[in-house]
Amino acid sequence: MWPDLKGKFTRSRIAILGNGQLGRMLALAAHNLGMVPSVYPARSDSSAAQVVPSAPGESLEHFAQEADVLIFENEFVDTEPLAPFAHKCFPGLSAMRVLQDKSAQKLQLSQLQIPTAPYTVYESDQSVQVWLRSLRERFAEGCVIKWGKQGYDGRGLHFLTGVSDAETERFVEKGLAYGPVYAEALVPFTKELALVACRSKNGEFAAYPLLTTEQREGICHVVYGPAAEFGIDHVLDEQVSNWAKRLAVSLDLVGCFALECFLTKSGEVLVNEIAPRVHNSGHFTQDAAATSQFENHLRAVLGLALGSTETAPAFLMVNVLGPATVEARGPVALPTPFPGAHLHWYGKHGIRRGRKLGHINAAAQSADEVPRLRQAVEEMIREWEETLIHG
């Protein structure tokens, strides 16, 4: 039974498990709705702790007891200690247990007849070497090995080469220490797509438009859309949205979540992974949608009506990633936005290669404007990098 928060949402205590940039943006959205957010663990140097009061040393039990609602910044959470507070958790713990294991995600997708790449899960009754040999036979066109748990931004992913090597075996063994390891066929995709959807605890469902994503070294770099404005068949938008709804209903999934997809050369969409939380691909909603994914996540878990997911005619989001040539500790200079560009900075202490430091959003009146906007944003980031290097 979900907690009854009717009539008291404006003073609801929103407890966020996770203190990174997603926790920060959820907390800011909670402030905007007149709610009282808190984060765990409370670290004064974390991105989220800069915008909410922190209580260093607070136990998870006390943190959960004081909350009306518990939400997750990420899926890397031990659900066992949260069992006594399951009625407060969104998504529910049973859904989280499925979705925090990517091999279980694959099974869920298959059972729901949602297309995904062929896969196989490592079974402990065979050696790693034997399993790797079987993968070469099964996936003649190549495959990628993935950790079921603790994989993100390119971590926990390994392409199987033509010959077995010690590095591959070590990768599998390391992943098995976290949980299941699986392999899936390489997909010859033409684009990577994503869709952020939201389902409330009252069963209301809404989805933002399908969009295109680009990665840099396995890390989300650029997002633009709606995909239908950039040559992607609008029928695919409806199809992926329907899959998202089917998945959410099957797991009683509450809150925002994302489907990460491949568009194949044949025009088919395959779901690659599911993120059971607000998602990097949805950051554009802060400045180019009627309601941000962060606000809708809160509305969903509190049983409020979901806000409109209507977006600008076109939009762009570019992540500001730590450059390869600079490493620094402490505060750094900020990029300088131009009119129409919205900078969201995460306040992280220090720069390292590939670290997500912030993002820049821009809305446009047409898809034709997006290449020019992208060029301007990328030039803005290059100038910022030069400032870091030369001072």
CA distances from 265 to 190, 191, 233, 269, 270 (A): 6, 9, 13, 10, 11
What is the DSSP secondary structure assignment for residue 290, as one 8-state letter?
A: S
* pLDDT for the residue numbered 165: 78
Q: Which pLDDT belongs to residue 279?
A: 98
For the chain, first and last CA: distance in Å?
56
When pLDDT is cut at 50, 70 and 90, the band that residue 127 belongs to is very high
| 111-132 exposure pattern, b = at least 16 Cβ within 10 A, e = fewer | eeebebbebbebeeeeebeebb
Supply the pLDDT for residue 350.
Answer: 84
Residues contacting 277, CB < 8 A, separation 6+: 22, 72, 73, 74, 75, 255, 256, 257, 258, 297
The three-point CA angle 220-224-240 to 5° equals: 85
| Residue carrying the six token digits 């910022």 | 384
How far apart CA 63 and CA 40 sit, in angstroms, is 7
Number of Cβ within a 10 Å radius of residue 96: 21
Residues 70, 64 contacting (CB under 8 angstroms): yes
85 to 186, 191, 278: CA distances (angstroms): 40, 41, 21
Q: Look at residue 378 in the predicted model and tell me its pLDDT.
A: 97
Residue in 307, 306, 305, 301 with CA at minimum distance from that of residue 90 = 301
Structural tokens at position 210: 């399908």
Output the six-digit token pair for 166. 């010690």
**Angle at the Cα of 134 (from 133 to 139), degrees rounded to 5?**
105
What are the tokens at 356? 């997500």
Mean pLDDT, residues 192-199: 99
Least confident of 5-14, 168-177, 236-245, 344-353: 5-14
Class of domain 9-90: alpha beta
Mean pLDDT check: name the lowest of 20-24, 233-237, 332-336: 332-336
pLDDT value of position 1: 45
CA torsion, ordered 52, 58, 60, 63, to nearest 10 deg: -50
- The strand pairing partners of 71, in sequence order, are 16, 90
pLDDT for 6: 44
Across the chain, mean pLDDT equals 93
CA distance 335 to 337: 6
pTM of the model: 0.94
pLDDT at 45: 83
Check residue 10 and give its pLDDT: 55
**Residue range 313-321: average pLDDT?**
98
- Contact yes or no for 111/56 (Cβ under 8 A): no
270 vs 333, which has greater pLDDT?
270
Residue 230 near residue 369, CB atoms below 8 Å: no
Helix (H, G, I), strand (E, B) or coil at 254: coil
**Extents of the domains making up the chain:** 9-90, 118-185, 189-390
The share of the chain scoring above pLDDT 90, in percent, equals 83
pLDDT band at 224 (very low <50, low <70, confident <90, very high): very high
- The residues facing 195 across adjacent strands are 259
CATH, domain range 118-185: 3.30.1490.20
Distance of alpha carbon 330 from alpha carbon 334, whole angstroms: 13
Q: What distance in Å separates the CA atoms of residue 285 and residue 196, rounded to the nearest whole number?
A: 10
- CA triplet 10, 197, 97: central angle to 5 degrees? 85
Task: Reply yes or no on whether the pLDDT at 5 is more than 60.
Answer: no
Mean pLDDT check: name the lowest of 43-52, 242-251, 266-275.
43-52
**What average pLDDT does range 11-22 have in this prediction?**
91
Query: Of 195, 190, 185, which is closest to residue 231 (Cα–Cα)?
Result: 190
pLDDT at 159 over 60: yes
pLDDT value at 209 more than 50: yes
Cis amide prior to 335 (ω within 30 degrees)? no
Q: Which of 196, 303, 310, 305 minimizes the C-alpha distance to 254?
A: 303
Confidence band, pLDDT 50/70/90 cuts, at residue 364: very high
Residue 263 tokens read as: 């568009």
CB count, 10 Å around CB of 207? 21
The CATH architecture that domain 189-390 belongs to is 2-Layer Sandwich (3.30)
Residue 57: what pLDDT? 76
- What is the percent of the chain with per-residue pLDDT over 70, rounded to a whole number? 95
CB under 8 Å to 238, separation ≥6 — which residues?
A: none
Residue of higher predicted confidence among 55 and 24: 24
What is the pLDDT, as a whole number, of residue 143?
A: 95
Contacts of 67 (CB under 8 A, 6+ apart): 13, 14, 15, 38, 85, 88
Residue 8 has a pLDDT of: 47
Flag the least confident range among 21-35, 39-53, 227-241, 353-367.
39-53
- Per-residue pLDDT at 164: 62
Residue 11, pLDDT score: 66
Beta-bridge partners for 182: 121, 146
